[in-house]
Amino acid sequence: MAARGPLRYALILLAAIVPACAAALPADFVYLRDIDPTIIQDIRYAGSNNFVGRPLPGYEAAECIVTRDVALRLKAAQSGLRPRGLSLKMLDCYRPVRAIAEMLAWSQDGVETTAGRRYNPRIAKQDLFRLGYIAVRSGHSTGAALDLTLVELAADNSAVFDPAKDYADCTAPVALRAPEGSVDMGTGYDCSDVKAHTAAQDLTPEQRRWRNELVAVMARQGFVNYAGEWWHFSLPGTGATTYVFPIRPRR
């Protein structure tokens, strides 16, 4: 059967720009680690701890790549957090277009998985794009959108994700969810649920405080939060060009 709708659009877009792929980063892109190595990174689509349950195409290394302007703004945010015993933690940065095409194909394959239900407890996977939880054209592919959280450096953040463990879904209490090594924002990262909306009501005072803190920290550097996801921020007025170059290890 021929691809239709959003899937057809994604495949056409991917086919059109693949020939432009190059090994080197485009001139305005940098590895965040080269600008500020103190910012913690946990690039989730480079591993299995995500809603697809496997690394996505284009994520050949767990590295945050962003535009230089974004990187410098993140460095400034981090400089204000470190003296307070806090750190930014990057969960996704630049996202190759090919990874979005894979997300779309996964959403339409008709197979519900354990990983998928952990992240999408009340929504069928085929509805994620229609409801706006995943976008066919993502600001991540321009290098100007980010997914991130906050970490208390003095806390015990040693727990690691065990793919064999039966974790509760992303809306459950933090002790039952898959570990993220971060403060408790009320849901896990990439949670497709109304509780993940930044201004959701079903939160404890501490969870609300952490969300407000993250929004304020990023706003001071010019970033705008997407109301449907407490973790997602973008920098207005940046370029609209999307890219497909792979995320490769730093040289």
Task: Look up the pTM and report it.
Answer: 0.89
Q: What confidence score (pLDDT) does residue 213 get?
A: 98
Give the Å distances, CA to CA, from 121 to 118, 151, 169, 232. 6, 25, 6, 20
Which sign, positive or negative, has the C-alpha torsion 59, 64, 65, 66? positive
How high is the pLDDT of residue 17? 43
- Please report, rounded to a whole number, the percentage of residues in the chain having pLDDT higher than 90: 78
d(CA 52, CA 41): 20
- State yes or no: pLDDT of 137 exceeds 90: no
Sign of torsion over alpha carbons 67, 146, 57, 180: positive
From start to end of the chain, where are the E strands? 29-31, 40-41, 65-67, 86-92, 145-152, 224-225, 232-234
Active site residue 60: no
Which class in CATH covers the domain with range 36-234? alpha beta
Residue-wise pLDDT tens digits, 210-236: 999 999 999 999 999 999 999 999 999
Dist CA 142 CA 17 (whole Å): 13
The tokens describing 86, both together, are: 């806090």
Closest CA to 250 of 21, 34, 55, 72: 34
Which residues are part of a known binding site for Zn(2+)?
Answer: 140, 147, 232
**Binding positions:** 140, 147, 232
Given the residues 63, 102, 180, 229, the one annotated as active site: 229
Residue 133, pLDDT score: 84
Question: Domain ranges in the chain?
Answer: 36-234
pLDDT tens per residue, range 24-83 = 899 899 999 999 999 999 999 999 999 999 999 999 999 999 999 999 999 999 999 999
